[in-house]
Amino acid sequence: MSVEQILVLGVNHKTAPVEVREKLACPDIAVPLAGLKEIPGCDEFCFLSTCNRVEVIFTSTTPEQTTRAIRTFLFKASNISDEQAIEYTYLHQGTEAISHLFRVAASLDSMVVGEPQILGQLKEAYRNATEHKCTGVILNRLIHKAFSSAKRVRSETNIGSSAVSISFAAVQLAKKIFGDLKNKTVLLAGAGEMAELAAEHLMTQGCSQIIVANRTLENAVKLARRFNGKAVALSDLHQQLEIADIMVSSTGAPGFILHHDEVKLILKKRRSRPLFLIDIAVPRDLDPKLNDLDNIYLYDVDDLSQVVEMNKSDRQQEARRAETIVEEEAIKLLTWLGNMALTPTISALRRKAEEIRLGEVKRSLPQLDLSEKELKTVHKLTNAIINKMLHNPILYLKEEECNNDERQRKLAEMRRLFGLDDGK
């Protein structure tokens, strides 16, 4: 297995705007997993989809053809041209792919460096991939190593303590609008992890009431109970907007749950009180035209990057330490992959030596009159000679200080010297 057969193809908040990313989002994870399974050459894969990225981590013995097929698959329902798709996507291969995945797991590639959600999202993506039998030896090792690398970053740096989550960035924006969040009423549309994180941050800032609106009322009740709040059905959203000061929306619905004209009617009942809307869903929940209304302040996930930048300098030093850890862990994985590449060559070397030994013993036997005991001695002697002859060449291949390029050169050299590819 060559390290160049490990790849990551995707889009994220750096390469594509939310209008593009939301077109690639897929609420039913079984759909992309089933589709990727049908792509020739996509041997092992894991599909990661969050509000800020959609990535396919995969292995392939035909990287170029498989990459093109995966890109086409990701964008097939988006009405985006092939040229634009290439522009929006990034491709990492080999060592770059490994480092990228480790950086993603450690939250070094996130909009908010140090946020903890991405590791949980990657674990969920991996769990789905394994349940659908999409991974194998290489990706299992790679992704588990990404998890342990992220754990080291968390335990050996303070990157988590100085970072903010997407939800907390939303709270920072709310404070800019209202100045003080005490006695404010918060409406959460959606009862998932993002909504829960938003509720935690808002309550610590003094918000007096939380209302949770969700399609599944049972989930809304569970979340509302945590914060002594109120649970309502999502169909009651308009009524609750009459009293809310802040709304955080993260439903993951396929279309807008609030439109311009609907909120325009609600504003009359609010008597010009400002309403702060935070749309952290991908695809977006809230109609962008809402920003055209007076006393409405609408922000989506891309707008949150402005808050993130304010905290960047505080995290840079810890991020540098984290990058060093990621690099160390990537080198360990490369060593493991290199050793995997050694196995076929060492096996072929031993196999060829054994074929030569047996051939020469068989050729010599008719000229000798050996007892059973003497024959065993001959086999033992010739085996010992072979093992001693191969000892140094195998040690030469296994030298740990070799980088990947050097190891590949040694493998090619050894196969040529001993004629291991002859006859192929």
134 is catalytic: no
Task: Write down the residue that tokens 């862990």 correspond to.
Answer: 329
Q: How far apart are CA 74 and CA 65, in angstroms?
A: 15
- Structural tokens at position 199: 């509720």
The neighbour count for residue 226, using CB atoms within 10 Å, is 13
What contacts 302, CB < 8 A, 6 or more positions away? 13, 17, 18
Task: Compute the distance between CA of residue 239 and CA of residue 242 in angstroms, rounded to an integer.
Answer: 6
For residues 7-43, b (16+ Cβ closer than 10 Å) or e, as one string?
bbbbbbbeebebebbbbbbeeebeebbebbeebebbb
Catalytic pick among 42, 46, 51, 134? 51
Dihedrals φ, ψ of 327, to 5°?
-65, -40
Give the Cα separation of 219 and 232 in Å (integer).
Answer: 10
Q: Which of 86, 76, 87 has its CA nearest to residue 23? A: 76
Q: Which residues are catalytic?
A: 51
